[in-house]
Amino acid sequence: MMSSQIYILVSILVLLVVGIILFFFKKEGGRRMGPLGGLAFGFILAGIIFRESSLIGYGLIGVGVVLAVVDIVLKLKK
């Protein structure tokens, strides 16, 4: 396995662990991740997984970032 593949695998695993922690564990007074935030997280994770095709990978990451920003704006308006 090449070193770049190892870095990608480690980053995917870290993102997966963070997502699981945010999704399943909720602090008192804290908010759970909403459906739009989860969708954004999934798109970013898919963009990392499909990095081989740079156009698809960067497109998925871009969609994930846009969805995350929309989720933040919607939560700030509440």
Query: In this predicted model, what pLDDT tens digit does every residue of 5-64 receive, in sequence order?
Result: 777 788 888 888 877 776 676 665 566 678 888 899 889 888 888 877 778 888 888 999
What is the spatial distance between Cα 78 and Cα 44, in angstroms, rounded to a whole number? 25
pLDDT at 29: 57
- Which range of residues forms the domain containing residue 8? 3-77
Q: How many domains are there within the chain?
A: 1
Binned at pLDDT 50, 70 and 90, residue 66 comes out as very high
What is the spatial distance between Cα 71 and Cα 15, in angstroms, rounded to a whole number? 19
Binned at pLDDT 50, 70 and 90, residue 70 comes out as very high
pLDDT at 30: 60
What is the spatial distance between Cα 68 and Cα 78, in angstroms, rounded to a whole number? 16
- What residue has token string 């969609």? 63
